[in-house]
Amino acid sequence: MLQISRDYPVIDHTYDAVVVGAGGAGLRAAFGLANEGFKTACITKLFPTRSHTVAAQVGVIINHEVLLLSWKYCN
């Protein structure tokens, strides 16, 4: 019978900085730290293009277009 183990090897990592979240601010922080020579890790629960920053930007664009249409038809 196949025996399944819930154990997994723990790999020890050492970083100068760990950025939590890969939205706009998190990715920029991780990029800036790495660019300055810091050993940097960026961890996130979402794929970067699925972040709340991207979703918020789409909402801003849609809202802006709705406002433009509203003004266009009010005159």
Q: How confident is the model over 17-73, as pLDDT tens digits?
A: 999 988 888 889 999 999 999 999 999 887 766 666 766 655 555 555 555 555 555
Exposure string for 34-55, b = 16+ CB within 10 A, e = fewer: beeeeebebebeeeeeebebee
**What is residue 45's predicted lDDT score, i.e. its pLDDT?**
86
pTM: 0.57
Distance CA 70, CA 48 (A): 33
Sequence spans of domains, the chain? 17-74
